[in-house]
C-alpha cells in the first residue's frame, strides 16, 4: 500500500513533507502565531442597562464570539488578522437563506512596518530608538481603556479603521493616529451616514415602516423612538447615547504621549473627532404618520476636542508592607458636540488600590460633568467618555455610558473594589454609589447603589470560566433619567452571567521533560 501511495499519488508525499517543513520552521523561528477564541456567555437580564416595568419578564439568552487570530513577525514587519463571528444561539434557523445575511466579519486586519530600529544595524536611520507605521483595522488601547479601548466585554468588541505612527525614544512613547470613514467606494461625493441604520422604524402612529434612504432615525435614550415629536426630553434629563452608539465619527486625529519614570507612569491624550452636520426633518409615511430623522451634510462637520492626562504612581513593594497603586486623571472636552452645541465638559477620576499577597482593595471616585436644568439648549456640559470601556468603570449593569444611553445630567461614581486571587481562581467584589452631577427634577441627586460579584476559575492553560452576579438598588431619579415610567419601574434589578472563555494556541507544543 505504501508503494502504491508513492507511485500513484506522489504529490501527497510532497504536501506532507512541505507541511512538516513549514511547521518545523514556524516553531523554530517563532515568527508566526495562530490562536483562536470561543467565548459563549449565558446571560440573565432583569433590568440590565435600563430599568424595566415590574410586569416585564426577565430575559435569558446565550451569545457567542468565535475568533481566529493570525500573526506574523519579521524584523521589519508585523502582520495581524482576526476573523470574528458573533451571534446569539438560535438567532439563525438550522437552515437559513441568503436573505438572512451573516455576522462574519474582519475584527482586525493590519500591518505594522518598522521604519527605524537602533537594534537593527541594517537600518541607517538612527535618530529614534524605534519608529513604525501601523495601518489597517486594529484595536486601540490607551492607559486603563477609560477613553480609548477595545471594549472586550462586548462580544462584538471595538476596532478602528485607521493609520497609526508609533515612536519610542528613551522611554517615551508617542502615537499619532488618523481615521477617515466613508460608506462605500463612491464616484461622486455622497454624505457619510454614520451608523448601523435599522431597516424599519416606527412612525408617529406606531406603525413599522421602512427607514427613509439617507436618514438616521432620531432616538431618545435606550432606543425609545422619538418620532412622536421633533424634539425629545429636556437636555438635562435626556438619556444621551455615547461611544458612537448611534452616530459614528466621520474622522479623527489622535495624539498619545506616555513616559514611565521608575514606578510612575505619566500620559497625555489629545483626541479630535469630527461628526457630520445634519438637518433634522420629518418624512411622511403611509397614512397620516411621519418619522423624524437626521439627514447629514456632505462636507460640514462638528468638531469635538478631548485633551487631558493621567498619572499612575506605585508606592511600596510586594515583599514589604505591600503596594499602593494610585491613579489620577483629568480630561476636558471643548468645541462642539455631535449635535453642534457648544461644548465645555470635564471628567475627573482618582483611585487608590492596596495589594498584599493574594488580596487587593481600594476606593475610587469619578466625576463626569453634565447638563443642568439651566443649561441653554445650544450648549452642552455633558462629558462623553469617547470610545472606552464603560462596563469596566461604571458598574457591570451598564446603566451609564453604554448603548442604552446615559443621563445627560452627568455622573458621580463613588466605589470600592476588592479582589482575592488564588492559583486557579479569583473572586472580585465591587460596590458603587451613583449620583447625578446636577440636582435632578425631583430635587435630589441619588441614582442607585450597585453590587457586582464575579468569580473566575482557570480550568486549564487555555480555558477560564467566569460567573457573575450584579444587583442594583435604584431610585426614581434613575428611572426618570433613563426614560422609564417611575410608577411601574422595577427599582431592584439584577443581572447574572456564566461565561466560558477558550483561547487555544494552535502552534503550542507541551514541553517534554528529558530523562537524564
As a dihedral over the C-alpha atoms of residue 393, residue 398, residue 404, residue 410, rounded to 10 degrees, the angle is: -50
Q: What is the mean pLDDT of the chain?
A: 83
Are the beta carbons of 49 and 502 closer than 8 angstroms?
no
- Lowest pLDDT segment from 176-185, 214-223, 325-334, 403-412: 214-223
pLDDT for the residue 396? 95
Nearest-angstrom CA–CA distance, 335 and 345:
10
CA dihedral for 365, 371, 374, 376, sign (positive or negative): positive
Q: What is the pLDDT of residues 129-168, one digit of tens each?
A: 999 999 988 999 999 999 999 999 988 888 899 999 999 9
- Percent pLDDT > 90 in the chain is 46
pLDDT for the residue 132? 94
Q: Which three cell numbers stand for residue 95?
A: 437552515
Write the DSSP assignment of 421-480 as a string of letters: E-SSEEEEEEEEEEE-SS--TTS--EEEEEEEEEEEEEEETTEEEEEEEEEEEE-HHHHH
pLDDT over threshold 60, residue 478: yes
- Nearest to residue 502, comparing CAs of 62, 43, 66? 66
Q: What is the pLDDT of residues 191-200, one digit of tens each?
A: 788 876 777 8
Mean pLDDT over residues 98-127, rounded? 78
Neighbours of 370 (CB within 10 A): 26
Task: Return the SS3 of 326.
Answer: strand
pLDDT for the residue 210? 85
pLDDT for the residue 368? 95
More confident residue, 406 or 374: 374
Mean pLDDT over residues 401-421, rounded? 88
Mean pLDDT over residues 299-306, rounded? 92
pLDDT over threshold 60, residue 449: yes
Nearest-angstrom CA–CA distance, 474 and 27:
55
pLDDT for the residue 156? 86
pLDDT for the residue 95? 42
- Nearest to residue 61, comparing CAs of 91, 25, 34, 37? 91
Mean pLDDT over residues 446-455, rounded? 96
Nearest-angstrom CA–CA distance, 479 and 467:
28
Q: What is the pLDDT of residues 338-374, one digit of tens each?
A: 888 999 999 999 999 999 999 999 999 999 999 888 8
Q: Which three cell numbers stand for residue 207?
A: 406603525
Looking at the chain, the number of H-run helices and the number of E-run strands are: 4, 26
pLDDT for the residue 218? 73
- Nearest to residue 272, comparing CAs of 371, 180, 381? 180
- Lowest pLDDT segment from 208-212, 270-274, 412-416, 417-421: 208-212
335 phi, psi to nearest 5 deg: 90, -125
- Nearest to residue 274, comparing CAs of 296, 242, 303? 303
Task: Return the SS3 of 224.
Answer: strand
pLDDT for the residue 104? 75
The strand pairing partners of 275, in sequence order, are 302
pTM of the model as a whole: 0.82
The strand pairing partners of 79, in sequence order, are 72, 111
More confident residue, 133 or 105: 133
Integer angstrom CA distances of residue 193 from 41, 214, 249, 296, 409: 32, 7, 10, 7, 28
- Helix, strand and coil percent figures for the chain, each rounded to 5: 10, 50, 40
Are the beta carbons of 435 and 412 closer than 8 angstroms?
yes
pLDDT over threshold 90, residue 333: yes
Mean pLDDT over residues 66-82, rounded? 90
| Contacts of 223-228 spanning 24+ positions with Cβ under 8 A | 223/404, 223/405, 224/483, 225/201, 226/292, 227/201, 227/202, 227/203, 227/290, 227/291, 227/292, 228/204
pLDDT over threshold 60, residue 277: yes
List, in order, residues 6 or more apart from 113 with CB less than 8 Å away: 76, 77, 132, 133, 134, 135
Domains along the sequence of the chain with CATH: 35-94+109-502 (2.40.160.100)
Are the beta carbons of 146 and 368 closer than 8 angstroms?
no
Query: 274: pLDDT confidence band, cut at 50, 70 and 90?
Result: very high
Neighbours of 90 (CB within 10 A): 9
Q: Which three cell numbers stand for residue 435?
A: 449620583
- Nearest to residue 219, comparing CAs of 316, 129, 299, 294? 294
- Lowest pLDDT segment from 2-11, 107-116, 297-306, 321-330: 2-11
Query: 20: pLDDT confidence band, cut at 50, 70 and 90?
Result: low
- Nearest to residue 383, comparing CAs of 275, 303, 306? 306
Amino acid at each position: 500500500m505504501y508503494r502504491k501511495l508513492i507511485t500513484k499519488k506522489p504529490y501527497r508525499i510532497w504536501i506532507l513533507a512541505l507541511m512538516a517543513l513549514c511547521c518545523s520552521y514556524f516553531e523554530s523561528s517563532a515568527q508566526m502565531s495562530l490562536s483562536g477564541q470561543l467565548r459563549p456567555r449565558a446571560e440573565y437580564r432583569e433590568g440590565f442597562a435600563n430599568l424595566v416595568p415590574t410586569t416585564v419578564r426577565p430575559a435569558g439568552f446565550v451569545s457567542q464570539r468565535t475568533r481566529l487570530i493570525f500573526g506574523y513577525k519579521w524584523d521589519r514587519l508585523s502582520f495581524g488578522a482576526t476573523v470574528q463571528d458573533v451571534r446569539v444561539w438560535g438567532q439563525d434557523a438550522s437552515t437559513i437563506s441568503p436573505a438572512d445575511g451573516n455576522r462574519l466579519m474582519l475584527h482586525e486586519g493590519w500591518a505594522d512596518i518598522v521604519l527605524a530600529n537602533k537594534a537593527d544595524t541594517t537600518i541607517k536611520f538612527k535618530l529614534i530608538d524605534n519608529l513604525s507605521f501601523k495601518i489597517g483595522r486594529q484595536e486601540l488601547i490607551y492607559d486603563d481603556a477609560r477613553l480609548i479601548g477595545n471594549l472586550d466585554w462586548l462580544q462584538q468588541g471595538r476596532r478602528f479603521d485607521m493609520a497609526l505612527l508609533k515612536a519610542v525614544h528613551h522611554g517615551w512613547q508617542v502615537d499619532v493616529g488618523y481615521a477617515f470613514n466613508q460608506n462605500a467606494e463612491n464616484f461622486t461625493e455622497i454624505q457619510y451616514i454614520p451608523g448601523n441604520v435599522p431597516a424599519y422604524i416606527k412612525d408617529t402612529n406606531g406603525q413599522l415602516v421602512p427607514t427613509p434612504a439617507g436618514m438616521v432615525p432620531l432616538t431618545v435614550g435606550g432606543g425609545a423612538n422619538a418620532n412622536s415629536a421633533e424634539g425629545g426630553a429636556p437636555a438635562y434629563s435626556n438619556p444621551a447615547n455615547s461611544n458612537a452608539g448611534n452616530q459614528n465619527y466621520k474622522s479623527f486625529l489622535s495624539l498619545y504621549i506616555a513616559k514611565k519614570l521608575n514606578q510612575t507612569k505619566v500620559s497625555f491624550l489629545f483626541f479630535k473627532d469630527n461628526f457630520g452636520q445634519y438637518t433634522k426633518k420629518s418624512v411622511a409615511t403611509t397614512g397620516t404618520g411621519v418619522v423624524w430623522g437626521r439627514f447629514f451634510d456632505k462636507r460640514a462637520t462638528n468638531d469635538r476636542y478631548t485633551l487631558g492626562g493621567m498619572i499612575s504612581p506605585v508606592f511600596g513593594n510586594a515583599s514589604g508592607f505591600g503596594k499602593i497603586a494610585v491613579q489620577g486623571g483629568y480630561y476636558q472636552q471643548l468645541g462642539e458636540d455631535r449635535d453642534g452645541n457648544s461644548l465645555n465638559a470635564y471628567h475627573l477620576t482618582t483611585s487608590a488600590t492596596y495589594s498584599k499577597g493574594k488580596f487587593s482593595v481600594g476606593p475610587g471616585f469619578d466625576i463626569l460633568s453634565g447638563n443642568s436644568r439651566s443649561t441653554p439648549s445650544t450648549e452642552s456640559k455633558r462629558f462623553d467618555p469617547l470610545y472606552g470601556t464603560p462596563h469596566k468603570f461604571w458598574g457591570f449593569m451598564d446603566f451609564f455610558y453604554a448603548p442604552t444611553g446615559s443621563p445627560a445630567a452627568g455622573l458621580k461614581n463613588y466605589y470600592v473594589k476588592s479582589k482575592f486571587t488564588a492559583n486557579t481562581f479569583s473572586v472580585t467584589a465591587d460596590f458603587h454609589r451613583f449620583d447625578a452631577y446636577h440636582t435632578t427634577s425631583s430635587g435630589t441627586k441619588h441614582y442607585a447603589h450597585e453590587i457586582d460579584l464575579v468569580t473566575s476559575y482557570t480550568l486549564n492553560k487555555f480555558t477560564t470560566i467566569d460567573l457573575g452576579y450584579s444587583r442594583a438598588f435604584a431610585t426614581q431619579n434613575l428611572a426618570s433619567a433613563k426614560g422609564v415610567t417611575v410608577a411601574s419601574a422595577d427599582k431592584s434589578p439584577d443581572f447574572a452571567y456564566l461565561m466560558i472563555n477558550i483561547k487555544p494556541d494552535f502552534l503550542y507544543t507541551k514541553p517534554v521533560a528529558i530523562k537524564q
